[in-house]
Structure 1
Amino acid sequence: MAEDLQPAIRLLLSDLDGTLLQPDHRPSAATIAAIVRLRQAEIAFSVASSRPPRAMREIVEMLGIDVPYAGFNGGTLIDTDGRVLAAHHIDPDAVRTCLQVFAGACVDVWVFADDQWLLRDLNGSYVGHERSALGYDPVPVDSFEPFLPRIDKMVASSADFELLKALEHQLGELLQGQALAARSQDYYLDITAIQANKGQALQSLAAHIGVNIEQTAAIGDGHNDVAMFRVAGLSIAMGQAREDVRIQADRVTGSNTEEGVVQAIDRYLLPGR
C-alpha cells in the first residue's frame, strides 16, 4: 500500500517467536521501549502466537499489554484478566486424519489440550527447544484418543523441513473445510481449528477495541502470519522470513536479532505521530 494512502495505524498485532522475541525467547530492552512509544502515540499493541496462552502470560505481563491477545495461531482469544473470549477446538475427524498421515511420516506429534502439552516421546528432537520456549514441561501419554474432542492445536515437528512442507500441502488438501495446516517454523507444522488463524484474530481484536481493520498493522516471520498480512491495513515481514512470506507483506524490516520490530515501529508506525 502506498505510504501516502495509508490510514493512521491504531493497532499493531505482532507474532512472538522470531519476531518480537530474541533467540533467548525474551523481548529486548529496545523492543520494550518501542512498545512504550507506541502507547504514548495512542497505538494499541497486542500479540498473536502459535504458543498456548499459558506460555504467553509472562510476556503479556512484561509488556503491559492491556488489550486481548491470541494463542494457538488465533484459535483462542484471551482478555487481560485471563478470561477466554473465544476458543476453537479442532474437529475430531480432522485430528484422526492428521494422526493417520503423521503415522506414516518420520515426525514427532504433540497435542495441546486441557492447558497441557501432551506427547508420546519425551526424547523428540525439538522437545528441549519447545520446553525452553514454553517454560513448562510436557506430559507423556500413551494415546491422544481421550483428548480428541478438546484439542486446541496439534504439532508435527521434524528436522526434515521439506517433509513438513510436503505434509503442509498434503493436509491442506485433505483438511479443506475441517482444519488448517500451516508451518509456524520450518521445523513445526501446526494444525488448528478452521476458525483459528491470525487473520481472524486480528479482525476480532480490532472489532473488540473499536478499530477499523484498515487502521491495523501486523508483523511476523512465519507462514502462519500470512493470514494476518492479508487482512491488515499494513503488513510487515521480518527480514529473516522466507521469501514466500516476505513477498506477501507490504514492507520488510530487519530480522529479530537486528531489532526489526523496533525498526518497523519507528519507520512505519510512528513518523508524524
Structure 2
Amino acid sequence: MTTMVPPLAVDIDGTLSRADRSIDPRALDALREWPGPVVIATGKALPFPVALSQFIGIQARVIAENGGISIVDDELLVHGDRAAADAVVQEYEAAGYDLGWGSLDLANRWRETEIAVSLDSPLDPLTTIAEAHGLEVVDTGFAYHVKSPTVSKGRALVEVADRLDVDPASFLAIGDSENDVGMFETAGVSYAVGNADESAKRTADAVTDGSYADGFLEALEKASR
C-alpha cells in the first residue's frame, strides 16, 4: 500500500539549519527529493527563500516576512504594510533606540512588508510603540519583527494552498518558533523541532527528539511512514 505524501511547509532558521544558523546540506537534499509540493515559510525577506529554492533546485513557492509576502506559481501575494512598520521605527529611533543591524542593515534592505529589529535592542519600548500604531512584535528567536497582526504564516499558507488547489489542512508543517504557530494551526499535521520555543511546542501535534535539521529530518521520516 502506497502512502500519500503531503505537501510540505517548512521554516528555515532553526529548522533547516544547524545551531550556528548555517544550513545543513542534508536538509537541502531532503527538500529536493520530497515528492510533494514544498513551501519555504520564513521570517526572512523574500529574496532569501527564493534564492534558497533556486539553489536547492525546487520551484519557488515561498512565504516570507512571516506571511507578509509570498510567491506561488509566478504570482506575488502581498499582505503586509511596510509603511506602517516604518512609522514605528521612526518613533523608536526618535526615542533614542537603534535597530541594531549597523549602517548597512542587510536584515531590512529587501524587506517589503515589515521591519526586523535585532534581539540586542530593547523590546519593551518597541512593543509599546508598535501597539500604539496597531501593529505587533513577534520574537522569532533570531529577531523582533514589527508587523501587522493580521499577517501570519498560517494565513499566507491558506492563500498559497488555494493557488495550488490543495486543502491547507493537507499540509505537513515543520518549524521552531512563535511565528510558526499560525502555520501549525492551519496545517493538518505539524512538528516542532526539539530546539523550538515553548509556543511552537505547545501548538505542534508532535515535538521531535532531534533539534534543528536533525529534527526536521526526523519529522519527514515519521510523516512519510
Q: TM-score band, normalised by the shorter chain? A: 0.7 to 0.9
Where does 1:80-91 land on structure 2 (aligned, <5 Å)? 83-90=74-81
**Residues 93 and 53 of structure 1, relative CA distance in 2, 3 Å threshold:** closer
Q: Could you say which residue in structure 2 is the equivalent of 1:78?
A: 71
**Residues 9 and 202 of structure 1, relative CA distance in 2, 3 Å threshold:** farther
- Secondary structure of the 1:191 match is strand
Aligned equivalents of 1:58 and 1:216: distance in 2? 23
1:25 aligns with 2:22: yes
Q: Percent identity?
A: 24
Amino acid aligned to 1:205? V
1:155 aligns with 2:148: no
- Aligned-residue RMSD, C-alpha: 3.1
Structure 2 gap segments, 5+ residues each: none
Offset at residue 158 of structure 1 (A): 3.2
| TM-score of the aligned structures, taking structure 1 as reference length | 0.69
Q: Could you say which residue in structure 1 is the equivalent of 2:224?
A: 270
Aligned equivalents of 2:23 and 2:68: distance in 1? 23
- Secondary structure of the 1:26 match is coil
Aligned equivalents of 1:170 and 1:230: distance in 2? 27
- Secondary structure of the 2:63 match is strand
Where does 1:85-234 land on structure 2 (aligned, <5 Å)? 85-90=76-81, 92-93=83-84, 95-101=86-92, 103-104=94-95, 106-108=97-99, 121-122=102-103, 151-159=112-120, 163-164=122-123, 166=124, 170=128, 173-176=131-134, 179-185=135-141, 187-234=142-189
- Secondary structure of the 2:13 match is helix
- Secondary structure of the 1:20 match is coil
1:16 aligns with 2:12: yes
**Residues 182 and 193 of structure 1, relative CA distance in 2, 3 Å threshold:** same
The answer to whether the Cα contact below 8 Å between 1:11 and 1:206 also exists between their aligned partners in 2 is no
Larger of the two Rg values belongs to structure: 1
Offset at residue 78 of structure 1 (A): 1.7
**Residues 172 and 211 of structure 1, relative CA distance in 2, 3 Å threshold:** farther
- Secondary structure of the 2:90 match is helix
Structure 1 gap segments, 5+ residues each: 1-6, 111-120, 140-149
1:255 pairs with one of 211, 215, 225: 211
Offset at residue 12 of structure 1 (A): 1.0
Q: Could you say which residue in structure 2 is the equivalent of 1:114?
A: none
**Residues 159 and 64 of structure 1, relative CA distance in 2, 3 Å threshold:** same
- Secondary structure of the 1:108 match is coil
The answer to whether the Cα contact below 8 Å between 1:12 and 1:216 also exists between their aligned partners in 2 is yes
- Secondary structure of the 2:204 match is coil
